[in-house]
Amino acid sequence: MRIHRKLMIVYFLMNLLLTAILSTLFLKENESISAKSLSQFYDGVLSQQINNIRYKQQIYENLAVQFVLSPAIEELLESDPDVLQKKNFITLHNEIDRLVGYLYSFHDTGIRSIQLFHRSERVPSDGKFLFPLSRLQAVYTDEELKSASSRWKLMADPVSDKYYWSFVQPINSMKMFNNIGYVQIVAEISSFINTESSPASLKFSEESTESFIMDSSGTVVLHPEEERIGRPVDATLTTLLREKPAMEALEDTVYTIDEEEYVVLWKPISSLNWTSIALVPKRATVEAFHHFRNVLILTLFLSTAVFFLVSYLITKRMMNGLKTLHKKVLALGRSKEMYAIDVTANKGRDEISLLERSFDSMTHNLRQLIHENYIVKLNKREMELKFLQTQINSHFLYNTLDSIKNEIDLDERETAVKMITALADLFRVSVSHGKEMIRFEEEIYHARCYLEIIEHRFGYSYEFDWRIDPDILPLYTLKVVLQPILENAIFHGLVPKKTRGVITIEGQLMDDAVEIRISDNGIGMPPEVSRRLEEGTLEGQGVGLSNVLNRIRVYFGDTYGLHIESVQKVGTKVTLRLPIRHREEDAHVPLARS
């Protein structure tokens, strides 16, 4: 796996892990905050509802206080029932109606009736305002009449089958400070929930949130659905309310109705010993959190994708520099030649760009050093080659001139002329205007000139069989490579045999090289000698073959050279392997004769 992919995987996993951890912590914290916020919201709603109800109740309580403080009402309730019996009922009605009439004019919203109760059973009743206490005791117990928290009570009308709220206020004598009667105000329940802008409407949301108020006995005293008023609250819910404190954590107060879970929140109305309850669907409590969670997940996904893209672009740019540097290192390692480098090409300021420029500078300096060293070695090898070639030419020239002298001394002028002409062509090809590469056609002509000189020197006692592929004639080769091999075959193979010898010269174009095979039927040589000649390690013998081998390796490398196969008393075959070269720029060497 490449380093770029590894880096991307590491970046992705690190970001994913960090995102998962932070998201989990954030979601847990947000869930807790959401639960607290929702609890606080409904706590505020319930508190506002209670305050609104208490405000309406206080209006009616203040009405009752007007009766308590009225001297006329006090006089009426302190009067002897016998005296009241003698009065005309119409006069009594008018007097009471006068006392409470102004209250109706100011507070006519929801009041169904206002009644006074005299402690004596003998008090005459007008059927509207004044009644004996026994009538009130049919609704309120003595304990409820004495308790301040029980004065508000749900009351049913058996005629209309409708529920009302009833409030009773005791009336005491301002003189004797004893109880002389009671005032009862009966109000419509709807008057407590008819303000649409108030939370007392009991509709907190569109998620079927249900809110109601129950009294200490577990009876519903206030509900937005009128038919639910007066019904007992489910025992499971009342048990749950007794076990948990008000406004408990949402997840701990789950109540199931018709297979749907509700979160129960409640707040006591301490002055009345009532409880305000809200049933919120659990799905409503978590819906906002789930929506926020989905938005958060989407945001985190997008941020992760952006981070991944930015990381990819950054690492890709970084890896492009590393890839470029890697390619240069590979090219430097695989190439046999140093390539030219523009050390100012990369203008980046990051560390990888600096490393690439340093590598380019190092390679540039190394290339210069190698080039300088190569030039020095090339010059040295060229001088060595010149020296070897000088050795070959001087040795052969000495022998040939000596033979020409002998021919002249023997008055063989024609032979001497032919030898001089062949020698001139031989050296003309050898010199080749200072070139080292000539065509095979010229190299073969050079070899023929040499053999012609040999024939004149030693007589026509050898046979030369030329089998040259015409396709190799226009190709180029290193000059003076055939003559030393032919010389070695004649003087070390055929001459010692002292019989007529045959030398075969074959030239063939192969797929990847040119092969020249020179075979003779001379005396041959031992395998050890042929091996050392082929390796160029035989001292004192085979100087010509060693020179040819060294020159070929210097110019063309170790892939090319010569191979010797020899069998004693049978003959020797030298295979010369040369590269295929098409060098048209080398000039043709003119020949002295065709």
What's the confidence (pLDDT) of residue 392?
52
User: Taking a C-beta distance cutoff of 8 angstroms, is the pair 505, 469 a contact?
Assistant: no
**Of 85-99, 379-393, 437-451, highest mean pLDDT:** 437-451
- In angstroms, the CA 180 to CA 169 distance is 11
Q: Which of 33-47, 80-94, 440-454, 546-560 has the least mean pLDDT?
A: 80-94
Q: How distant is the alpha carbon of residue 223 from its chain centre?
A: 57
**What average pLDDT score do residues 441-462 get?**
84
- Residue 443 burial (C-beta neighbours within 10 Å; 0-12, 13-18, 19+): buried
- Angle between the N-to-C axes of helices 351-409 and 440-458, in degrees from 0 to 180, rounded to the nearest 10: 30
- In angstroms, the CA 152 to CA 272 distance is 7
% the chain with pLDDT above 90: 11
What's the confidence (pLDDT) of residue 388?
52
* Buried residues in 146-165 as b, exposed as e (16+ CB within 10 A): eeeebbbbbbeeeeeeebbb
Give me the half-sphere count of Cα atoms (radius 13 Å) on the Cβ side of residue 390. Answer: 6
Q: Band of the pLDDT at 380, cuts 50, 70, 90?
A: low
**What average pLDDT score do residues 255-274 get?**
77
Q: What are phi and psi for residue 175, nearest 5 degrees? A: -95, -50
- In angstroms, the CA 323 to CA 327 distance is 6
What's the confidence (pLDDT) of residue 160?
75
What's the confidence (pLDDT) of residue 422?
87
User: Taking a C-beta distance cutoff of 8 angstroms, is the pair 440, 403 a contact?
Assistant: no
SS3 (DSSP) at 7: helix
User: Taking a C-beta distance cutoff of 8 angstroms, is the pair 60, 103 a contact?
Assistant: no
What's the confidence (pLDDT) of residue 200?
38
* Buried residues in 460-472 as b, exposed as e (16+ CB within 10 A): eebebeeeeeeeb
User: Taking a C-beta distance cutoff of 8 angstroms, is the pair 338, 367 a contact?
Assistant: yes
Q: Which residue has the higher pLDDT, 25 or 4?
A: 25
- Residue 564 burial (C-beta neighbours within 10 Å; 0-12, 13-18, 19+): buried
Please give the full DSSP string across 78-89, using - where no structure is assigned.
HS-HHHHHHS-H
Q: What is the mean pLDDT of the chain?
A: 77
- Residue 344 burial (C-beta neighbours within 10 Å; 0-12, 13-18, 19+): exposed
Q: Which residue has the higher pLDDT, 552 or 326?
A: 552
SS3 (DSSP) at 589: coil
What's the confidence (pLDDT) of residue 182?
92
Please give the full DSSP string across 235-296, using - where no structure is assigned.
HHHHHHHHHS-TT--GGG-EEEETTEEEEEEEEEETTTTEEEEEEEEHHHHHHHHHHHHHHH
- Residue 117 burial (C-beta neighbours within 10 Å; 0-12, 13-18, 19+): buried
SS3 (DSSP) at 21: helix
Indicate if the pLDDT at residue 536 is higher than 60.
yes
- Residue 101 burial (C-beta neighbours within 10 Å; 0-12, 13-18, 19+): exposed
What's the confidence (pLDDT) of residue 504?
95
Q: How many C-beta atoms surround the C-beta of residue 195 within 10 A?
A: 13
* Buried residues in 259-291 as b, exposed as e (16+ CB within 10 A): eeebbbbbbebeebebbbbbbbbbebbbeebee
Indicate if the pLDDT at residue 499 is higher than 60.
yes
**What average pLDDT score do residues 454-470 get?**
84
Q: Which two tokens stand for residue 589?
A: 């060497």
Q: Band of the pLDDT at 494, cuts 50, 70, 90?
A: confident
Query: What is the DSSP-derived secondary structure letter of residue 125?
Result: -
Q: What are phi and psi for residue 113, nearest 5 degrees? A: -160, 155
Q: Which of 103-107, 302-306, 357-361 has the least mean pLDDT?
A: 103-107
Q: How many C-beta atoms surround the C-beta of residue 319 within 10 A?
A: 19
Query: What is the DSSP-derived secondary structure letter of residue 357?
Result: H
- In angstroms, the CA 179 to CA 296 distance is 68
Query: What is the DSSP-derived secondary structure letter of residue 492?
Result: I
Q: Band of the pLDDT at 394, cuts 50, 70, 90?
A: low
User: Taking a C-beta distance cutoff of 8 angstroms, is the pair 577, 477 a contact?
Assistant: no
pLDDT per position as a tens digit, 287-342: 666 776 777 778 877 877 787 777 777 777 777 777 777 777 777 666 555 555 55
What's the longest Cα–Cα distance across the chain?
202
Q: How many C-beta atoms surround the C-beta of residue 6 within 10 A?
A: 11
What's the confidence (pLDDT) of residue 269?
83
Q: Say whether pTM exceeds 0.75.
A: no
Indicate if the pLDDT at residue 506 is higher than 90.
yes
- In angstroms, the CA 239 to CA 232 distance is 13
How many residues are present in the chain?
A: 594
Name the residue type at position 435: K
Q: How many C-beta atoms surround the C-beta of residue 53 within 10 A?
A: 23
- In angstroms, the CA 394 to CA 392 distance is 6
What's the confidence (pLDDT) of residue 105?
59
Indicate if the pLDDT at residue 471 is higher than 90.
yes
